[in-house]
Structure 1
Amino acid sequence: MTGKVALITGAARGIGLATAKLMLGRGWQIAMVDRDEEELLAAAGELDGARPFACDVSVADQVHETLSAVLAAFGRLDAVVNNAGVAEFGPIEKTGFDTWRRVMATNLDGVFLVSQAAIPALKETRGALVNIASISGLRASTLRVAYGTSKAAVIQLTKQQAVELGEYGIRANCVCPGPVRTKLAMAVHSQEIIDAYHDAIPLNRYGSESEIAELIAFLCTEQASYVTGQIIAADGGFESTGVGLPALRT
């Protein structure tokens, strides 16, 4: 057992849940945070060493109450994984301000609020922040004006955190997943989209939740003790392809 505690937002499903399971298996205790209380309780109920905390990360009062509850329950905090996010896609001219604000509130404001509330505890442990952005924050894509912009902002926020918090021994890094084979992605991606990603990604496949979780977990550990301010794309080489055409590779 490491005796260490990680707080993971968006932990009821997907990458957040995969990360919680992986880190639990390596001796961490996990504070699982999600606004979907029913799904959160169901997920946490099957995991030994994890405790659920229902919280909407876009609401400042809820965030502060949750951080207090986590510290009361565990007594310390060694890592924060800001994974909670929402995705709403549509053309720029049809993206209403209410949609823009919903995306920003969770994807950007939530990262800021949770990180800021956790700083005092992370100072005590010289802990780690790992923010989950997206390949959409590194390269523009159609229909993602709010989502992509929010994730690009998370990338810059991570750099700010690394620069300002490094003197306290707090490391801040950002993981940018590419296409990942989640239940949600498979439900909304047509076969045409799946085939197109296959052709565009050098590794010719989607990533898995567990592959992203491995990187997140590594960045939380002492093995990454000299890594901070880094933006790491876990995307099968997608971001590196630039304008290269798959047809020209062979």
Structure 2
Amino acid sequence: MRLHNKVIIITGSCTGIGKAIAERCVAEGAKVIVHGLEPQPGEVLVAKLGKAKARLHIEDLTANGAPQRLVEVAVTAFGKLNAVVNNAALIATSNINSTDSHLFRRMLEVNTIAPFALIKAALPYLSRTRGCVLNIGSVNAWSGEPDMLAYSVSKGALMTLTRNLGDTLHRENGVRVNQINPGWVLTEKELQNKQEQGFEEDWYATLPPAYAPAGRILRPAEIAAAAVYWLADESGPVSGQVVDLEQYPFMGRNLPKDSATLLHLLATRPVPH
């Protein structure tokens, strides 16, 4: 087991990518703190994983003192802390015209400041175990789409945080910090979003090759498999690194030039993690 006896906090893990990471971590021998805003799916997941392997904490991470309370839940339940996975995120479409200061601040609070605050709260315990942090970003961190302005900026800031702390915390505290940037992932929320937009139930079965050369998009379990490497000791001393998880190069792509294909791509534009 690659994560034997490790204690890991996974934010935003009641559903989606976070849930898949929690399931895979337990399968690899870890104990996890499941966190999110949705009690019902969280309770179902903890019951599935077992009380000996999982605890649930429901709270908005931007609330005053929330990061400290989440860390306390882990240490009280399992006696130590080996890793933090910052997965929780606010996703909203917005561009230069529709983004106001309130939305921008909220996006940064959830996607950048809350992960920072949790790392800071967890640092004394991670230092004792020479643990690690894994931030879950997005390929949109590199520039983003016109209609994902605030979200993309928040993930870009998270990427800089990863590189900065990945250097300083590794040297000063023995704590590694890395990040994975998922592309388009078939989560429960993405299925719901597309149905609400009027797409057929099996829309993901007939995706244009420009977005899905493999004929499908990524699955949460595939992101979870990648996460285990960074949480396990086998990733060794590597720190301050960001890895994109997508089936094509996100930057410098040559998209089809015919307008019909481009219109189809825009109509099926993904809502990334």
In structure 1, give the amino acid aligned to 2:181.
Answer: C
Aligned-residue sequence identity (percent) comes to 28
Aligned residue number for residue 178 of structure 1: 183
Displacement of 1:196 = 6.3
* Counterpart contact for 1:34–1:56, Cα < 8 Å: yes
| TM-score normalised by the chain length of structure 1 | 0.91
Q: Which 5+ residue runs of structure 2 have no aligned equivalent?
A: 259-273
In structure 2, which of residues 220, 232, 252 is the aligned counterpart of residue 221 of structure 1? 232
In structure 2, distance between residues paired with 1:129 and 1:198? 34
* Counterpart contact for 1:171–1:227, Cα < 8 Å: yes
Aligned residue number for residue 61 of structure 1: 65
Going by fraction, where is helix more abundant, 1 or 2? 1
Per-residue displacement from partner, 1:143-199 (whole Å, max 9, x unpaired)? 111100000000000011111101222111011000001121123236699666642
Per-residue displacement from partner, 1:37-96 (whole Å, max 9, x unpaired)? 333223212212111112211124121122122211111111110000010102221112
Aligned residue number for residue 254 of structure 2: 244
Displacement of 1:247 = 7.3
Displacement of 1:201 = 4.3
Q: Which moved more, 1:132-141 or 1:37-46?
A: 37-46
Aligned residue number for residue 46 of structure 2: 44
Where 2:167 maps in the other structure, the secondary structure is helix
Per-residue displacement from partner, 1:91-131 (whole Å, max 9, x unpaired)? 22111222222211111111111111111111001111000
In structure 1, which of residues 188, 194, 202 is the aligned counterpart of residue 193 of structure 2? 188
In structure 2, distance between residues paired with 1:198 and 1:143? 22
* Counterpart contact for 2:218–2:246, Cα < 8 Å: yes
Aligned residue number for residue 139 of structure 1: 143
The alignment of Structure 1 onto Structure 2 pairs a total of residues equal to 247
Where 2:190 maps in the other structure, the secondary structure is helix
Q: Structure 1 residues 55 and 197, CA, compared in 2 at 3 Å: closer, same or farther?
A: farther
Displacement of 1:204 = 4.3
In structure 2, distance between residues paired with 1:238 and 1:207? 14
| TM-score normalised by the chain length of structure 2 | 0.84
Matched, 1:6 2:8: yes
Aligned residue number for residue 261 of structure 2: none
Displacement of 1:35 = 2.4
In structure 2, distance between residues paired with 1:225 and 1:187? 38
Matched, 1:199 2:204: no
In structure 1, which of residues 30, 44, 56 is the aligned counterpart of residue 32 of structure 2? 30
Q: Which 5+ residue runs of structure 1 have no aligned equivalent?
A: none
Aligned residue number for residue 18 of structure 1: 20
